[in-house]
């Protein structure tokens, strides 16, 4: 009886470990946009918050998450007039992340138990999936976390359908419909549907017919949102214009040498197949499709893990040597310890923390000084969303995390100025005049900071930060 509680215990432990501070600066951009949607009662169609592209067309494919985050993340203005999260808001957002993480693992546990895996192996699968994906890049206050839960739920419903559960396909289509209002990764749900349908033609022709119909209806279900078919088509923008995400760390190809736990997990699947396991065709297609996706960008790791781990667990369960092994309990404990050691997880802790702890310091003193400075500014990329939130509803930032909004402007103009490439001076003067720039807030290590320090029309304002450099136009109006 106690052994049956192991998956639940593992899930609760993972949820507890996920109660670490907000670390991603993207959270602020999402909070600012969500607050604007609530204030204006409409989904934005322009690049709100931006001084440079504020009137440019923009597709907000994450609006559902942003509204949810803004509703939970209660905020107020401090004495400086900047917007800050209340203690309740911070706790709510961290709890949101912890609950979604635990819910995702709970669904994975249910999938693994349904495949015939015992409670011990299912609990280890939960532990493995969590520690493969723990990190500020994945489990933070970002729309992706709801996509992880949606993908896990979709796969579980497809497995239920395979076992004859009534209404499972209808439930899977409902997941797609809800997912489409949360995050553009809903297209991955359509991919999972297609893999299952294709595999069914090998496994079960009778099921394949109705599953194929459902797979064809999945993109239709994804259009059942306020943005309609554009929510699906917009996701392909990144494939058509890869320059949008050039230079963005989370879109770089993964370095497998730094992912030993993932390599070991794939190796275990290979060993299980060599020992006699025969994963279903649909499961193999999912692993291949999401594995190929992962190899294009590190940000896709959690999607691959959610697909991979249940297949690995089911494969190990079907190996005759595993069923005959008497020391399974000791092996599971040792494997659980190895998972933690090999993961290299840095953002978890035994004691919950509900604060804000960005991976690099943010210019808190500088942004409060800017609250009393009119005009637009030039900012470091990582400060963009933070400025949008603190100075809400002002639209003053030059660049933020929406790479799809800025396009070639980032590489051709913004980066050239920030890095002071040849010809940057004329581009800088053009921006100053066109957008009436009156301040610049960049990292102290940026080449632009050194150049502005030499210019008599720009005055550096020391706010005690060793990492940020704030400059104000040296004009009597702003003295």
Q: Which tens digit of pLDDT belongs to each residue from 109-151?
A: 999 999 989 899 999 999 999 999 986 679 999 999 999 999 9
**Dihedral angle computed from the Cα positions of residues 11, 15, 18 and 20, in that order, rounded to the nearest 10 degrees:** -150
pLDDT band at 348 (very low <50, low <70, confident <90, very high): confident
Q: Quick check: is 85 in a domain? A: no
Q: Is the pLDDT of residue 442 over 70?
A: yes
Q: Which two tokens stand for residue 229?
A: 């078919």
Q: Quick check: is 312 in a domain? A: yes
In total, how many domains does the chain have?
2
The pLDDT value given to residue 475: 63
**Dihedral angle computed from the Cα positions of residues 39, 41, 45 and 51, in that order, rounded to the nearest 10 degrees:** -10
The pLDDT value given to residue 360: 85
Give yes or no for a contact between 366 and 465, defined as CB atoms under 8 angstroms apart. yes
Q: Are residues 468 and 419 in the same domain?
A: yes
Average pLDDT over residues 6-28: 93
Q: State which of 343, 377, 410 marks the end of a domain.
A: 343
Q: Quick check: is 62 in a domain? A: no
Question: How buried is residue 109: exposed, middle or buried, by Cβ count under 10 Å (0-12/13-18/19+)?
Answer: buried
**Those residues with Cβ within 8 angstroms of residue 322's Cβ, 6 or more apart along the chain or in another chain:** 316, 328
Residue 266, CA distances (Å) to 95, 120, 269 in order: 32, 20, 5
The pLDDT value given to residue 194: 96
Q: Quick check: is 449 in a domain? A: yes
Q: Are residues 451 and 417 in the same domain?
A: yes
Q: Are residues 373 and 336 in the same domain?
A: no
Q: Is the pLDDT of residue 78 over 90?
A: yes
pLDDT band at 326 (very low <50, low <70, confident <90, very high): low
Q: Quick check: is 45 in a domain? A: no
Which residues form the domain of 285?
A: 3-23+99-343
Q: Quick check: is 391 in a domain? A: yes
Strands 376-379 and 437-443: parallel
Taking the C-alpha atoms of residue 196 and residue 242, their distance in angstroms, rounded to an integer, is 28
Q: Is the pLDDT of residue 403 over 70?
A: yes
pLDDT band at 479 (very low <50, low <70, confident <90, very high): very low
Q: Is the pLDDT of residue 239 over 90?
A: no
Q: Are residues 318 and 372 in the same domain?
A: no
Q: Are residues 378 and 323 in the same domain?
A: no
Taking the C-alpha atoms of residue 159 and residue 463, their distance in angstroms, rounded to an integer, is 57
Q: Are residues 300 and 378 in the same domain?
A: no
Strands 458-461 and 468-473: antiparallel
Q: Are residues 317 and 439 in the same domain?
A: no
Which residue reads 């009137």 in tokens?
Answer: 55
Give yes or no for a contact between 85 and 134, defined as CB atoms under 8 angstroms apart. no
Q: Quick check: is 418 in a domain? A: yes
The pLDDT value given to residue 250: 85
SS3 for 136? Answer: coil
Q: Are residues 306 and 394 in the same domain?
A: no
Q: Are residues 338 and 368 in the same domain?
A: no
Q: Are residues 331 and 429 in the same domain?
A: no
Q: Are residues 334 and 389 in the same domain?
A: no
Average pLDDT, the chain: 91
Report pLDDT digits (tens) over 198-231: 999 998 888 999 999 999 999 999 999 999 999 8
The pLDDT value given to residue 168: 96
Q: Are residues 321 and 408 in the same domain?
A: no
Residue 473, CA distances (Å) to 220, 249, 298, 401 in order: 52, 32, 40, 25
Q: Quick check: is 143 in a domain? A: yes
> Which stretch of 238-247, 303-312, 392-401 has the lowest confidence by average pLDDT?
238-247
């Amino acid at each position: 009886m106690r052994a049956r509680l192991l998956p639940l215990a593992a899930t609760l432990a993972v949820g507890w470990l996920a109660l670490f501070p907000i670390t991603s600066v993207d959270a602020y951009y999402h909070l600012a946009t969500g607050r604007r949607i609530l204030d204006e009662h409409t989904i934005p169609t322009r690049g709100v918050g931006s001084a440079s592209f504020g009137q440019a067309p923009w597709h907000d494919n994450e609006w559902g998450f942003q509204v949810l985050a803004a509703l939970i993340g209660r905020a107020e203005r401090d004495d400086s007039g900047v917007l800050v999260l209340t203690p309740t808001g911070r706790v709510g957002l961290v709890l949101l992340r912890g609950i979604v993480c635990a819910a995702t693992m709970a669904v994975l546990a249910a999938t693994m138990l349904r495949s015939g895996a015992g409670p011990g192996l299912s609990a280890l699968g939960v532990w493995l999936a969590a520690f493969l994906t723990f990190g500020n890049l994945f489990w933070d206050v970002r729309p992706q976390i709801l996509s992880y839960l949606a993908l896990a739920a979709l796969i579980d419903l497809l497995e239920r359908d395979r076992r004859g559960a009534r209404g499972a396909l209808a439930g899977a289509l409902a997941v797609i419909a809800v997912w489409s209002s949360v995050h553009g990764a809903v297209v991955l749900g359509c991919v999972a549907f297609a893999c299952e349908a294709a595999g069914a033609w090998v496994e079960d022709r009778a099921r394949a017919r109705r599953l194929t119909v459902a797979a064809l209806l999945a993109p239709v279900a994804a259009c059942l949102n306020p943005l309609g078919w554009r929510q699906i088509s917009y996701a392909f923008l990144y494939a058509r214009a890869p320059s949008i995400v050039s230079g963005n760390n989370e879109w770089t190809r993964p370095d497998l040498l730094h992912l030993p736990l993932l390599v070991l997990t794939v190796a275990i699947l290979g060993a299980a197949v060599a020992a006699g396991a025969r994963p279903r065709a649909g499961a193999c297609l999912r692993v291949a499709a999401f594995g190929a996706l992962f190899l294009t960008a590190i940000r896709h790791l959690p999607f691959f893990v959610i697909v991979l781990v249940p297949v690995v667990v089911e494969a190990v369960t079907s190996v005759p040597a595993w069923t005959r092994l008497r020391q399974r309990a000791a092996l599971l404990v040792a494997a659980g310890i190895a998972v933690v050691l090999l993961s290299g997880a840095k953002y978890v802790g035994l004691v919950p923390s509900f604060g804000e702890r960005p991976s690099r310091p943010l210019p808190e003193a500088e942004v409060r000084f800017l609250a009393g400075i009119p005009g637009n500014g030039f900012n470091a990329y990582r400060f963009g969303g933070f400025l949008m939130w603190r100075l809400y509803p002002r639209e003053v930032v030059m660049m933020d995390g929406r790479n799809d909004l800025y396009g070639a402007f980032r590489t051709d103009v913004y980066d050239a100025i920030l890095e002071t490439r040849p010809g940057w001076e004329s581009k800088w003067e053009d921006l100053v005049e066109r957008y009436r720039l009156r301040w610049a807030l960049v990292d102290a290590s940026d080449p632009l900071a050194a150049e502005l320090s030499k210019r008599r029309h720009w005055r550096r304002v020391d706010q005690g930060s060793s990492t940020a450099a704030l400059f104000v136009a040296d004009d009597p109006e702003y003295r």
